[in-house]
Structure 1
Amino acid sequence: MRQNQNKKDASMNTRRAIINLLKEHAGMDVVALSDHFSLNGMAIRQHLNALQEEGLVTYEEEARPMGRPTKLWKLTPAADRFFSSGYSDLSLSLIHSMKEAFGSEGMDKLLAVRNKKMQKQYLNYIGDTSVTRERLEKLAEIRTNEGYMAEIKQEEDGCFLFIEKHCPICEAAATCAGLCKNELQLFHQVLGNDVTVERVEYILSGGRSCVYRVQKMATKNQSTNPNISPYI
């Protein structure tokens, strides 16, 4: 009896680990998953089939030059429940109530206060470093601790991509667009006036992640205002 329970617990732990990995790297095939978990393909398929029956994963077929198409597995929106959410139904209700009580102008003022407080907290954490990569790494640490699963990648042209793979305030952001607009401005404020910050992928517009392109100003004469994309 105890042995059966241990096997069940091990299976649940593996499936949760698969969910976490697919959150980090969407579009993984059975071979990649097998290599990561040191399990054979049959075992991985059993876990994926179980997760698919629960509506937590799905797949897309990718054509290959030779042979049959490969299934690339990814999470469904139903899997979001396994990741932190910064806003409950109560919080969403409060946002609606504040809009009714204070109107759009009042909401903008409240968000500005929130933005100023976050800016101070972020700057204290980032410290005095002026190196863009170091500032981005610190920012990624902050945002990951807040549930955004953030990371940075450097492009061949020297620019950086700041990637947030999960949005714990997604429902609230869908209700209050000012949250995302202020977030973009916040990033520019804490990363410094010598960089531009542009949102190039957006979860609320159907993107898999929120992705920001960060690059150094080419000249001192360039504007220090953030390059804000239309995704706000």
Structure 2
Amino acid sequence: MKNNFPENEKAVWILKTKGPQPLIAVAEELNITVEGARFQLLKLASEGIVEAVTVSKGRGRPQQIWSLTALGNQRFPDTHADLTVRLINSMRDTLGEEALQTVIDATQKANITRYTQAVAQAGNLEEKINCLAQARDAEGYMASYEKEGDGFLLIENHCPICAAATACLGFCKSELETFKKVIGREAKVKRVNHIMEGARRCAYSIIPDKADKK
């Protein structure tokens, strides 16, 4: 998912991908002066897109931490949210949970096939994770990965199906199982951050399975 925000709204993208940030960090990311960053943030705050809280740390000067509001998060699409929720609820009410689970299972199977194809040319685990992150990013998940200790962290800063996942947590369970299938036995996959549980992002720890290498 590309950053298509105008120059005077780049801070929105930063706060979405980096989480709550102090003013100086936003200025550094924007590569502008602190005053310039403050002007941009105050303008966005006047529109209800960002907000700041004052945090005191020790004896130092209190610091303002900026974050997105609910309105700011709406700048990032939740694909066909209302229609999706209505369809899920209608299916549950008329056909039952079993029929809904059948749809989730079919979606999972299709995703496994698509992502397996996306990582097919990967030469090692890191390349596989990179390919998976690129595929998810193209679908609007604002996905990336980074090294973490002996393993990796697959990060998704946005959930374009959040409304559907809220209406039916089976979609979230399905995504975790999909990643496990695509990564395969060479690594263990565990969800460590979950938007549905109040985190600002979803993140998955991917640790190489040393036992599998023996």
TM-score by length of 1: 0.83
Partners of 1:134 and 1:38 in 2: CA distance: 30
**Residue 40 of structure 2 is aligned to residue 47 of structure 1:** yes
Query: For 2:181, which of 174, 179, 189 is the aligned residue?
Result: 189
Encode CA deviations 1:60-116: one digit per residue, 9 max, x unaligned.
Answer: 334345531111211122112211222331121111111122211111111111111
DSSP 3-state at the match of 1:143: helix
Whole-Å separation in 2 of the counterparts to 1:71 and 1:202: 26
Looking at structure 2, the residues matched to 211 and 198 of structure 1 have their Cα atoms a distance apart, in angstroms, of 9
Aligned equivalents of 1:220, 1:31: Cα separation in 2 = 45
CA distances 1:155-185 after superposition (whole Å, capped 9, x unpaired): 12x1211110011111110001110000000
Q: SS state of the match for residue 55, structure 1?
A: coil
Structure 1 letter corresponding to 2:112: Q
Between 101-110 and 33-42, the greater mean CA deviation after superposition: 33-42
Q: 1 CA distance for matches of 2:11 and 2:189?
A: 32
1:71 equivalent among 57, 61, 64: 64
- Once residues 129 and 14 of structure 1 are traced to their aligned partners in structure 2, the CA distance between those partners, rounded to angstroms, is 36
Greater length-normalized contact order (CA 8 Å, ≥ 6 residues apart)? 2
8 Å CA contact 2:145, 2:152 repeated in 1? yes
Gaps of 5+ in 2: none
Q: Which residue of 2 aligns with 1:151?
A: 144
Q: Is 1:133 equivalent to 2:126 in the alignment?
A: yes
For residues 60 and 132 of structure 1, do their structure 2 counterparts lie closer, same or farther at Cα, with a shift above 3 Å needed?
A: farther
Deviation at 1:128, TM superposition (A): 4.0
The whole-number CA distance in structure 2 between the counterparts of 1:115 and 1:109 is 10
Matches within 5 A, 1:80-229: 80-129=73-122, 131-156=124-149, 158-220=150-212
Contact 2:144 2:156 in 1 (8 A): yes
Q: Is the Cα contact below 8 Å between 1:87 and 1:172 reproduced in 2?
A: no
Pick which of 142-151 and 61-70 moved more: 61-70
* Count of aligned residue pairs for this structure pair: 209
Structure with the greater alpha carbon radius of gyration: 1
Matched to 2:202, the amino acid is C
- 1:8 is matched with none
What's the offset of the Cα at 1:130? 5.2
RMSD: 1.9
**Partner amino acid, structure 2, of 1:133:** E
TM-score if structure 2 supplies the norm length? 0.90
